[in-house]
């Protein structure tokens, strides 16, 4: 069954009708009527209690917003520049403090990634493994001005004697193509493997043969002070090659 459309017989008279029939526009209708009547009244200019026209209010608000938007920002106080951290006798090489232990996987991966990046530039690198010699960690804390009980994350990199940072800083510089500018002018690396240590960078102590003890006729057995806690010393061949 089809329904036929019928024309509505309701007519809306909109001839000069200033009022809105919808209740939701009542406030707007009243506001316009009051403001327009006062704005068009000849005595409005002399009235002291008049309310500003709605359009004047909009203009005032816009003027205030423009004033705040163009208001100059206060000058920020100059930041204090951090002191330059340098390492002595390292102007022609890279010095990296790292660990070769896999105790903390994230630290080991960071050290491995940074060493791989630095090795790709074929420049002299002084690798200081804190897991092989605890003295390197104390040395690093002294250079950075840290307390003895402070725990430092690894790796830490110095290029040309200047402190660069850790893994995040080195990787960011490498990805941005800026790291190669830091290594320009450094001494080239030895491409051959060291015949003394086989690339381990450490050898057994000659005085105690790695036992940390040596015998003296005057005082008997004594603790060896020439090697580290592991009875090792830095490979003389590798060490002199990167000085």
Q: Does residue 57 surpass a pLDDT of 70?
A: no
Q: How confident is the model at residue 97 (pLDDT cuts 50, 70, 90)?
A: very high
With vertex at residue 126, the alpha carbon angle to CA 123 and CA 127, rounded to the nearest 5 degrees, is: 115
CB-count burial class (<10 Å; 0-12, 13-18, 19+) for 113: middle
CA dihedral in degrees (52, 54, 57, 59; nearest 10)?
-120
The residue assigned the tokens 């003027």 is 63
Query: Is there a single domain that holds both residue 117 and residue 129?
Result: yes
Q: Does residue 239 surpass a pLDDT of 50?
A: yes
Q: Is residue 144 part of a domain?
A: yes
Beta bridge mates, 233: 203
Q: Give me the percent of the chain exceeding a pLDDT of 90.
A: 44
Q: Are 99 and 130 in contact (CB under 8 A)?
A: yes
Going by their DSSP bridges, the two strands 94-98 and 125-129 should be labelled as parallel
Q: Is residue 200 part of a domain?
A: yes
Query: Is there a single domain that holds both residue 180 and residue 205?
Result: no
Q: Is residue 14 part of a domain?
A: no
Cα gap 108→125, rounded to integer Å? 18
| Domain count for the chain | 2
Mean model confidence pLDDT for the chain: 78
The predicted model scores a pTM of: 0.64
**Residues, the chain, total?**
243
Instruction: Tell me the helices (H) and strands (E) count for the chain, helix number first.
Output: 7, 8
Positive/negative CA dihedral, 183, 186, 191, 197:
negative
Q: Is residue 61 part of a domain?
A: no
Q: Is residue 18 part of a domain?
A: no
CATH of the domain at 119: 3.40.30.10
Res 51: pLDDT: 53
More confident residue, 90 or 109: 109
Q: Does residue 44 surpass a pLDDT of 60?
A: no
């Amino acid at each position: 069954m089809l329904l036929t459309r019928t024309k509505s017989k309701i007519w809306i008279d909109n001839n000069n009708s200033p009022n809105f029939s919808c209740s939701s526009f009542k406030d707007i209708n009243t506001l316009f009527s009051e403001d327009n009547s006062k704005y068009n009244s000849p005595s409005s200019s002399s009235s002291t209690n008049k309310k500003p026209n709605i359009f004047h209010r909009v203009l005032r608000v816009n003027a205030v917003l423009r004033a705040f938007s163009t208001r100059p920002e206060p000058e920020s106080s100059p930041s204090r520049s951090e002191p330059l951290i340098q390492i002595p006798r390292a102007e022609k090489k890279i010095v990296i403090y790292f660990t070769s232990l896999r105790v903390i996987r994230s630290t080991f991966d960071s050290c491995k990634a940074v060493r791989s990046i630095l090795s790709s530039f074929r420049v002299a690198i002084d690798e200081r493994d804190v897991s092989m010699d605890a003295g390197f960690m104390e040395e690093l804390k002294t250079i950075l001005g840290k307390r003895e009980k402070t725990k430092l994350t690894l790796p830490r990199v110095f290029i040309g004697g200047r402190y660069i940072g850790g893994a995040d800083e080195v990787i960011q510089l490498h990805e941005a193509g800026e790291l190669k500018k830091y290594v320009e002018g450094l001494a080239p690396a030895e491409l051959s493997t060291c015949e003394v240590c086989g690339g381990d960078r450490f050898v057994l102590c000659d005085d105690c043969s790695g036992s940390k003890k040596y015998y003296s006729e005057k005082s008997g057995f004594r603790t060896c002070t020439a090697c580290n806690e592991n009875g090792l010393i830095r490979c003389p061949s590798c060490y002199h090659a990167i000085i």
